[in-house]
Amino acid sequence: MQRYLPPLLLVLVLAGIAVRCGLEPSRAEAQEQIAGLVQGGIREQATSRLEDYLERFDNEEDAWFAAWVWFRLAQPARALKAIWDHPTIPTQADTASRFATTALHAIGWEDEARVDATGLEPFVLITLSEGENEWAHERLRAHARNLELMGATAYFFPAYRRATGKPLRLIVEEFRKRKEETYQVAAAMGSLGRGEYPEAAADEALLIKVVGDESWRRSFRDVWSVSALSLGRRGSPEAIAALEAAAKELKGSVNALDQQDEQLLNVGLLAAGRFDVHDQIGPYVFGEQSIMIVTVWYLEALIHRYLQGDMRTEIWLRRMWEGPGKRMGGLRNRMGRAFLLQDTVPSDEAMKTWVGHMLKGLEDPSAPAMSHVIARSFRLRTGLPGARDQLLELLRSLAEHVPPGGGTNPKLSGPFIEGLRALYLYE
């Protein structure tokens, strides 16, 4: 009998356990309390409460709840650990997509209702839309219907330059429903040169008008320059004639802006296959006094020509990579996305050419984090063994350098989001 607790002591122990259990919240109550702290921005208390929560609850859904909280608290390293170090979750087929979705929702919006957007919402929305997320489709449509043009370009230009086709098509469809000429122009430059479609002739006529209009060139220069490139992509006799006429008007001007704009028109001609203008553009791209806007759209013209099968561009893509690409890292990243992560997966034959050379450059140990993420995203896209683990290893490395509360640090958010995009789309 001495092995047993005295009856009174046993009663007291059991009573203490009962009181403790009565005081501790249930799983649902604890989650609600932690979520409230997160939404209220009370980070330290939310962290402490979550750590206590994980000592009491440890099933798979608890790990997913923890990952959500860690992302909300801008602690991506702990979110990665919660899921990818779990004993059973990593082997499940939907883990990568669910993890990426959890993260994208957390960094794209301040609230779970996804009403209060962060500055990263455009990129997150475009990624979700690429993955055929119906909610994201409608959100993009709503922005295109309601935002002023300057606000809408936050969604339009990322889709125009970096995403696959679906998000851009959705935005363009909504722009076409708006009566203002600026939106009609935006729809035209987002469509022209991407194949035949019912509005192509009207779009071409509208952009011919824009390119020849001094007020457009002076007041909406970005739109004007993209319109010139879009006409070049169209490549019809009428489009080429309009570009030539506008360039002739500027030729010989001593005004520096006019000289740059003449080259932007030549970039449009280059996109149409007119390599006779290349020598005029060269100093503005490869010279010591290179001009960013000319360089950026020159690269877009080269990309367009290369994807059309014009092998004359390969030598200049190599020069872009070794020259301006070294000075302006964003150019190399743009090339990587264009050839490796957009609509068409490059063939084995393409990988034996310039594209394979570029991939090796992206993987060079001295290359920046974004280049490595793009390269590993491509390997994940093509299903190479171990590609997901290699990408996750890189994301862990990036996450470890995010200070608590610093999840929107632009030096880290770009590569991290690019990796999340790959997990969302390619796994």
CA 129 – CA 142 distance, rounded (Å): 13
* % of the chain at pLDDT higher than 70: 91
E strands present in 159-293: none
Q: Could you give the percent of the chain with pLDDT greater than 90? A: 69
pLDDT of amino acid 21: 45
- Cα–Cα dist 23/340, whole Å: 55
The pLDDT score that the predictor gives to residue 19 is 40
Q: Using one digit for the tens of pLDDT, what is the confidence trace for 318-334?
A: 999 999 998 887 899 99
| CB-side neighbour CA atoms (13 Å) of 139 | 23
Residue 3 has pLDDT above 60, yes or no: no
pLDDT higher at 194 or 10: 194
Asked whether the predicted pLDDT for residue 161 surpasses 80, the reply is: no
As a whole number of angstroms, the distance between CA 194 and CA 304 comes to 10
12 pLDDT more than 60: no
Q: What is the pLDDT of residue 159?
A: 72
The predicted structure's pLDDT at residue 20: 46
* Lowest mean pLDDT, pick from 10-24, 273-287, 293-307: 10-24
At 147 the pLDDT is 86
pTM here is 0.87
Cα–Cα distance list, 154 to 120, 148, 198, 221 (Å): 10, 10, 27, 16
pLDDT at residue 407 greater than cutoff 50: no
* Rounded Cα gap, residues 421 and 373, in angstroms: 10
Sign of the Cα torsion 378, 380, 382, 384 reads positive
* Residues sharing a CB contact under 8 Å with residue 103, sequence separation 6 or more, in sequence order: 67, 71, 76, 79, 420
Residue 247 · residue 265 · CB < 8 Å: yes
Handedness of CA 332, 334, 338, 340 (dihedral sign): positive
- What digits encode the pLDDT tens for the residues 292-310? 999 999 999 999 999 999 9
Whether 271 has a pLDDT exceeding 90, the answer reads yes
* Domain residue extents for the chain: 24-92, 119-426
Kindly tell me if the per-residue pLDDT of 406 is higher than 50. no
pLDDT at 256: 95
Residue 358 confidence (pLDDT): 93
